[in-house]
Amino acid sequence: MKRKLVIVEWVDAASYSSWSDESNLIASPGTLRITTAGFLVRKTKKVVTVALNYDERGRLADAISIPANSITRITAVRIVTL
């Protein structure tokens, strides 16, 4: 099965796993702009799912589902055979 390759730009929550002064947390952006590239699995009003890999049997691996309201842009990538 041939799949469409896309680049998804989206906003994610920032997290902090170590001790930090309150002033550092207040100064942080609070969110992160993320760019994810992969093969489009599904696109609905609520979620976009892309997978990094798929095999000859159509099985998918390393997939992520991104909430649609977090997405700022989706760009289709044109694949050129060399």
Confidence label for 6 from pLDDT (cuts 50, 70 and 90): very high
**Rounded to whole angstroms, how far apart are CA atoms 30 and 42?**
28
Give the chain's radius of gyration (CA, Å).
16
Residue 19: the pLDDT is 86
Of 9-23, 36-50, 60-74, give the lowest mean pLDDT range. 9-23
Domain boundaries, the chain: 5-76
Q: What is the pLDDT of residues 42-72, one digit of tens each?
A: 999 999 999 999 999 989 999 999 999 999 9
Q: Where are the alpha helices (DSSP H) in the chain?
A: 22-27
Between 49 and 2, the more confident residue is: 49
Residue 25 DSSP one-character state? H
